[in-house]
Structure 1
């Protein structure tokens, strides 16, 4: 297997989700630390414009969005599995809810003044202004929950999650972890890191114990890699053979120039030649002066496919 390279930064909650999955599966990986805000001059040659964190690279294949990244990791290392057969559908639905509804409730809750001070008090006013401008540009016209509404909704969500553990089971959906656990965890990890507002978790001891169980999974340190080394690895590799199970929902044949764009925020289109459109993903081939020929992969859910 070609090396797994994760392009991330330490405080990214979605990156923490993938880091914990890698730990649980005992997969070795290489770490490339990327900037928290734009510009990201060594990442965009790989992604073609996609700017969210994290991104996973395997040779000349680049995987965007943690929903797809985790599915690919599960294909690489099927055991232990992220999608246990008895609860696979529930796990996927709960994970999608956590990555969207729960995450976008956590963000305004954490970004109240006390939480901002906890997370970003070390930044200069100029750095904080740059961060705020970057995140505003990412959000664009996407609606944002008011902090007061988030403060009202989050305790209800936490109570429901805590109730899922009331029967004495170890994990949200039973006696083994699933993608649902790691997806919910990264949201609560972000709340806990904002220490001034993390007291909300104290009301839910079962959830705290469940978080401790995830944190008890040994987290082996990755091998550090420079961005230039990762680009060199992409340049010297060939993309893997694409998934041939073509699922046509748009009337766009393979080989067509297309764009793939997130539908919610950070709506930066990635252009390329459509080389795969399977049941769960799109993939486009693109050329870059620094990265060479790469194939960029996206999940179908949450992304729109259009002719270029």
Structure 2
């Protein structure tokens, strides 16, 4: 059976979200380390230029954005589910909140602590993609810190009823997404100070951390490209009525980030949940590149 391949780098918070999801699954997966900045020459043949992290690969199907990667992992290995009852699929909406303003508060307030130690190239890359600016980050740090602490307080309230995880007795996608924000702060030495007033959060994240990342096997980028070349996309076509596009149409897609790269290809799927483009590249052959519908701008090419 084909294994899951995760293209990531160690300090990526969204990659940590996926690593935690793989841990819940107890999954066997292959790890390909990619640069934390563009260019990413060993990833581009798979994605067509999508440059955010992480990317999940299953054969010749390439999943860009954690929201669609989580769905792929859930379908590939259904048990144990990432959407346990009673929260169920509401976990995906909780994850969207964790990845929105709260993610910005977690990242901004943590990185501001070491902003002057981060090299200029990193800020130039993130400024082009997200508009991240060193001096603005430093000035905004007190507000962002207050917002993140406010979020921790609300999270502590939610966990005060004695539940083990956000959805009840079993961990899921919501725990992975919420957990990445606490994990990111911990990477900057802020965990103990942040969590001291919030014992329920501290106990919860300890339970999440203990799950681990499953069975990780290192893989070279070339080996991942070779797997894609030898495989065939497993995705089926579906174009929803009223979406404004047709199967086989040449299209371009990009995330809503101001400096996002555009990926072009032939449209295979356009639904309320996902968009899939077929692409050809000499290094990998035909691949299907998957995106969640939310957060993407799709247009005719």
Please confirm whether the aligned pair reaches a TM-score higher than 0.5, indicating the same fold: yes
Local SS of the residue matching 2:86: helix
Write the deviation string for residues 153-195 of structure 1: whole angstroms up to 9, x where unpaired.
1111110011111101111132222211110001110011111
Deviation at 1:89, TM superposition (A): 4.3
Is the 8 Å Cα contact of residues 26 and 215 (structure 2) preserved in structure 1?
no
CA distance in 2, matches of 1:74, 1:3: 13
Unaligned runs of 5+ in 1: none
Matched, 1:300 2:278: no
1:202 equivalent in alignment to 2:193: no
Q: 2:271 aligns with which of 270, 278, 289?
A: 278
Q: Equivalents in 2 of 1:20, 1:148: separation in Å?
A: 29
Q: Which residue of 1 aligns with 2:95?
A: 95
**2:247 alignment partner in structure 1:** 254
- Trace 1:1-308 onto structure 2 (pairs within 5 A): 1-112=1-112, 114-116=113-115, 128-140=119-131, 146-195=140-189, 199-242=193-236, 244-308=237-301
Which secondary structure state, in structure 2, belongs to the residue aligned with residue 88 of structure 1? coil
Q: Separation in 1 of the partners of 2:203 and 2:283? A: 46
Q: CA offset at residue 245 of structure 1?
A: 4.1
Q: Secondary structure at the match of 1:176?
A: coil
Cα distance, 1:141–1:134 mapped onto 2, change above 3 Å = closer
Question: How far off is 1:85 after superposition?
Answer: 4.7
C-alpha separation in 2, matches of 1:265 and 1:66: 19
Shift of 1:265: 4.9
Structure 1's consecutive aligned runs of 4 or more residues displaced over 4 angstroms after TM superposition are none
Gaps of 5+ in 2: none
Q: Sort the Cα spacing of 1:77 and 1:210 in 2 relative to 1 into closer, same or farther, 3 A.
A: same
How big is the shift at 1:225? 0.9
> How far, CA to CA, are the matches of 1:153 and 1:219 in structure 2?
29
Contact 1:110 1:194 in 2 (8 A): yes
Matched position secondary structure for 2:160:
coil
Cα distance, 1:196 vs. partner?
A: 5.0
Give the 3 Å change call, closer, same or farther, for CA 98–249 of structure 1 in structure 2.
farther
**Contact 1:245 / 1:279 at 8 angstroms: preserved in 2?**
no
TM-score, normalised via structure 2 length? 0.92
Q: Could you list the per-position Cα deviations for residues 112-137 of structure 1 after superposition, in whole angstroms to 9, with x for gaps in the alignment?
A: 1x2447xxx5x7xxxx1111111111
- Report the secondary structure of 2:28's partner residue: coil
Alignment length, in residue pairs? Answer: 297
> How much does 1:90 deviate?
2.8
Query: Structure 1 residues 222 and 197 mapped into 2: Cα distance closer, same or farther (>3 Å)?
Result: closer
Alpha-carbon offset, residue 27 of structure 1: 1.1
**TM-fit CA distance, 1:264:** 3.0
Out of 155-164 and 80-89, give the one that drifted further. Answer: 80-89
Which piece of structure 1 moves more, 144-153 or 293-302? 144-153
Q: TM-score, normalised by structure 1?
A: 0.90
For residues 193-245 of structure 1, the C-alpha deviation after alignment (integer angstroms, 9 at most, x for no partner) is 11157612222111111111011114344111111111111111111132x44
